[in-house]
A and B are shown apart, each in its own frame.
Chain A
């Protein structure tokens, strides 16, 4: 399974690298120690950074969702710009080879970013533990964080088993058929 995970990260390396960057930046902002700031390593933390676990509710929430949110916010417009031109507006190499390559690249980079929006399982579990089990987050915060936490928790497992990448590949294949 680790091999599949690593393969998925290599396949989406731009997104994996940037995900690692956002994670380290978040750690810096939250004052968490970062163990290994190498983002693309051949192990189960590929595309992430090992860091000290956040001990406060909001910090744990930000650590679990912040980097993914950044990847989503930057990745979605990039994906959209490429995808709608290729699929809906039917840009072909015969229209303009330059623009065709640009849109293919935008689609790829966008998808690679969107394939790396979920946290490591450890971070998702830490969020659950700190915010909901230990209740180190106030009730309003817990209400607002509930759905994103569930999404982050489920997504962490999907990403762990490379399901997100597989789903994206299926989506792209179906879109172009």
Chain B
């Protein structure tokens, strides 16, 4: 080891000690080198005194002694000498000579090291406080991460959305906003990504733009993909706006289809969207299911060729149509994709479960329910699906109990109130059904206005409200807090085209109980 490396010692002291060490080393080396010299001299004396011994033998003897002496000289270099200076002998039970050891014991810790050590302890205490303050919102976000990794996108979205609330709670406890406890834009980005996966990229882009304005992609690079989809969708919608407006104004099916097909190959027109709008036109003109399905299949093939996934755009709609036509296996083909991609997709699981019940597979339906409940424990959607399951299987009492249990913690749920409205319709309590449908609509509006979550507005809700108001109008309201709005609501829905099930009930062809406990078991 290089002696110069011994630092942390004053230079003068080090030099003085080095001189002492050098002197001691020189003495030791001199003492060692004297030993073989003396032995050689002794050998020469022996040669001169004894002339009987031949010169050869004398030479051999002399040679042996010299080699032994040289071995003795080499051995101490490796085992006996100090590993620092390499010159002095090691002390007892030590790798170092006493001189070096003395120097080593005196070595001082550098001033910079003391400063660093104290500084790191201070920083560590400061960091500990920051970590503790940030731990509650971080745990909330970590739960979001866990749900996202399990494809429980809506649960993840809710967890991320609540991080800011936790930060606010900590600020209120501290009595002031701390800059060290804050939710960054990364949280908003994650929330929007989860929302896109649980609802649709269009809804997510809308939410992002409501939060950050038109230039949201600059602030949150992760949501650029959804903003691009949003722009592309509305550009296509604008390009196809003329034939679609004409369709609503009374154009014939041929005119509409010709006008839309003429747009094929036009710059900016994505044929996935074109086929989707053709499907909507076919739906509007009530073309056969196979014709409608053909457009969706064409859109699907083009999407696959583009390497993109548009299942969020049309899978649920087409599955609904196929389900109502009794083509359950075809419907499942579309719905399974959605259920696989999002374990919190209530509408996908609801349809999947109702298809299983319609096929007579109650065990399969209960397994679907169990899977959904596992992934959405405590959420209103889990209670709503369980309530729907019991209603579909005819256990209305159990269904009511589940809804009441769910409403204790999820009173703002739109779907739970709708499920309760369906139960009241079955029992002929139209005024109560109207009240629950009214609350369901209010809750859906609240979610849309305050949380940008428009998922509560479904065709099922529209049909439920439509059926309730019309049955109330027909049978008369007995006791209702919101009776004054009845005519306004009827007027609002005057152009609404109800589903086949709703029409059958209103026409008296079927009872509400038959519609809601048999077949597809819902109103849309």
The reply to whether chain A is a binding partner of chain B is: yes
A interface vs B, CB < 8 Å?
14, 17-18, 20-22, 24-25, 28, 31, 33-39, 41, 50, 52-53, 55, 73-75, 77-78, 80-82, 84-85, 88-92, 94-96, 99, 106, 109-110, 113
Inter-chain contact B190/A90, CB cutoff 8 Å: yes
Inter-chain contact A35/B6, CB cutoff 8 Å: yes
Inter-chain contact B95/A52, CB cutoff 8 Å: yes
**Chain B 263-307 near chain A by CB (<8 Å), digits 1 or 0:** 000000000000000000000000000000000000000000000
* Distance of A74 Cα from B135 Cα, bound (Å): 18
Stretch with Cβ within 8 A of A (4 or more), from B176-184, B223-231, B427-435: B176-184
Give the interface SS of chain B, mostly helix, strand, loop or mixed.
Answer: helix
* Distance of A106 Cα from B180 Cα, bound (Å): 13
Give the interface SS of chain A, mostly helix, strand, loop or mixed.
Answer: helix
Question: Which B residue sits closest to A113, measured CB to CB?
Answer: B120
Inter-chain contact A18/B127, CB cutoff 8 Å: no
Instruction: Please tell me if B67 contacts chain A, counting CB pairs below 8 Å.
Output: no
Q: Which of B84, B109, B127, B184 contacts A80 (CB 8 A)?
A: B127
Which residues of chain B are within 8 angstroms of A92 by Cβ–Cβ distance? 184-186
8 pairs, A vs B, C-beta closer than 8 Å: A21-B117, A33-B101, A34-B107, A35-B6, A74-B123, A77-B131, A82-B127, A99-B182
Residue among B84, B104, B183, B187 with most chain A CB within 10 A: B104
Inter-chain contact B182/A89, CB cutoff 8 Å: yes
Inter-chain contact A18/B186, CB cutoff 8 Å: no
Inter-chain contact B219/A89, CB cutoff 8 Å: no
Minimum CB–CB distance from B85 to chain A (whole Å) comes to: 11
Inter-chain contact A91/B184, CB cutoff 8 Å: yes
Instruction: Please tell me if B5 contacts chain A, counting CB pairs below 8 Å.
Output: yes
Which residues of chain A are within 8 angstroms of B6 by Cβ–Cβ distance? 35-36
- Apart from A75-B124, A106-B127, what are 17 other A-B pairs with CB-CB below 8 Å? A18-B117, A21-B114, A24-B109, A28-B109, A31-B105, A33-B94, A33-B107, A34-B107, A35-B96, A35-B104, A37-B109, A39-B113, A80-B131, A84-B138, A85-B184, A89-B134, A90-B187
Instruction: Please tell me if B7 contacts chain A, counting CB pairs below 8 Å.
Output: yes
Given known contacts A81-B134, A89-B163, A36 and B101 CB-to-CB distance under 8 angstroms: no
Which residues of chain A are within 8 angstroms of B163 by Cβ–Cβ distance? 89
Inter-chain contact A88/B145, CB cutoff 8 Å: yes
* Distance of A77 Cα from B105 Cα, bound (Å): 34
Which residues of chain B are within 8 angstroms of A17 by Cβ–Cβ distance? 113, 116
Inter-chain contact A94/B185, CB cutoff 8 Å: yes
Inter-chain contact B104/A34, CB cutoff 8 Å: yes
Instruction: Please tell me if B141 contacts chain A, counting CB pairs below 8 Å.
Output: yes
**Chain B 29-46 near chain A by CB (<8 Å), digits 1 or 0:** 000000000000000000
* Distance of A89 Cα from B142 Cα, bound (Å): 9
Instruction: Please tell me if B394 contacts chain A, counting CB pairs below 8 Å.
Output: no
* Distance of A80 Cα from B113 Cα, bound (Å): 24
Instruction: Please tell me if B262 contacts chain A, counting CB pairs below 8 Å.
Output: no
Which residues of chain A are within 8 angstroms of B114 by Cβ–Cβ distance? 21
Inter-chain contact A37/B131, CB cutoff 8 Å: no
Inter-chain contact B104/A95, CB cutoff 8 Å: no
Which residues of chain B are within 8 angstroms of A37 by Cβ–Cβ distance? 7-8, 107-110
* Distance of A99 Cα from B134 Cα, bound (Å): 14
Inter-chain contact A84/B182, CB cutoff 8 Å: no
Give 9 nearest A-B pairs by CB, closest first: A90-B186, A33-B104, A81-B127, A91-B184, A90-B184, A77-B128, A21-B113, A74-B124, A88-B138
Instruction: Please tell me if B498 contacts chain A, counting CB pairs below 8 Å.
Output: no
Which residues of chain A are within 8 angstroms of B137 by Cβ–Cβ distance? 88-89
Minimum CB–CB distance from B221 to chain A (whole Å) comes to: 9
Minimum CB–CB distance from A103 to chain B (whole Å) comes to: 9
Which residues of chain A are within 8 angstroms of B84 by Cβ–Cβ distance? 35
* Distance of A39 Cα from B110 Cα, bound (Å): 10
**Chain B 171-197 near chain A by CB (<8 Å), digits 1 or 0:** 000000001101111111110000000
Given known contacts A24-B109, A52-B104, A88-B142, A81 and B219 CB-to-CB distance under 8 angstroms: no
Q: Which of A34, A73, A88 contacts B141 (CB 8 A)?
A: A88
Inter-chain contact B134/A24, CB cutoff 8 Å: no
Inter-chain contact B5/A36, CB cutoff 8 Å: yes
